[in-house]
Amino acid sequence: MVSGPAMRFVIIVPVFNAGAKITRTLESLLAQTALADGTARLEVLVMDGASSDDTCARAEAIGDPRITVVSAPDRGMYDALARGLARAEGDVTGYLPAGETLDPHAFAVAAEVLGRYPEIAWITGHEVTRNAAGQIINCRLPHPFHRRFFDCGMYGTRLTVLQQESTLWRSALNGLVDPERLAGCRLAGDYFLWRSFARAHELYVIDTAIGAFTVEPGQLSKQEPGAYRRELRSLRRRPALWERFAALLLRQYIKRIRAGRRARRLVRFDHGAGEWRLTRH
């Protein structure tokens, strides 16, 4: 384990009328093992859009000084996220919708990897999916991500969506994001973040679980089929013909070939050394 000052994690929870879910998310953050052993510190920003239910009361009832609740009318999830990013002053930033959780060791792994490799600016883990009962129904190690395909919007259209719940980044990257454009997003604000980050930095994959996405009835993206992709296309750089073709070839390759154990920009646990190590740049 890399020694040094405790890494400060700032997790933003954009929320509106989610009183039934908020406690589960906050408790998963407070239960991080890295907080108990002192290798990480935590600040949670609950950015509430003036909920009419007991969302704020439930968050405040936990009574933990590491949780800050900010409640005001907003234009939606990504307006709340943009306001949260403006307040995030820690070392590492991430965001979780109410109801989602992180693996108990997520901070511990992220702190070790980011502490060991200063060239790594943002990370993601396994693509983990849960059903409404909280059971894991799918888990997959992603193939290496390519900056160019973020820029032209292939991830989320012809290629897999980057799982937001499993992604963390150094807080310095927040300055790469146009807050007004982010605040104006309805569905594809996550893509806008990734494109902003990928213009300057490669994304690295860690061979572990960090978070998970829960498939539940009534999710906004399912209420408006195709709306996510339409908004994404309005935010991307128009892809060249060869980029479209290359993405199609890559999609077929990904369907047939599992991600390699020594893929580029992959961090795996070295059992012999007892530490997380980057396999190939």
For tokens 């646990």, what's the residue?
269
Query: What is the pLDDT at residue 124?
Result: 98
Could you tell me the mean pLDDT of each successive run of 10 residues in the chain, 281 residues long? 82 96 97 97 98 97 97 96 96 97 98 97 97 93 96 96 97 98 97 98 98 81 80 97 97 89 91 93 74
Q: Is 94 helix (H, G, I), strand (E, B) or coil?
A: strand
Query: What is the pLDDT at residue 260?
Result: 80
* Phi, psi (rounded to 5 degrees) for 27: -65, -35
pTM value?
A: 0.94
User: For the domain bounded by 7-278, which CATH number is listed?
Assistant: 3.90.550.10
Query: What is the pLDDT at residue 99?
Result: 94
Nearest-10 crossing angle of helices 227-235, 189-198:
30
Dist. CA 151–CA 128, nearest whole Å: 24
* Phi, psi (rounded to 5 degrees) for 3: -90, 160
Whether the Cβ atoms of residue 59 and residue 174 lie closer than 8 Å to each other: no
Element (H, E) at 92: strand 92-95
The residues, any chain, with a CB within 8 Å of residue 230's CB and separated by 6 or more, are: none
Query: What is the pLDDT at residue 220?
Result: 61
Dist. CA 146–CA 150, nearest whole Å: 7
Q: Report the amino acid identity of residue 233.
A: R
Query: What is the pLDDT at residue 262?
Result: 81
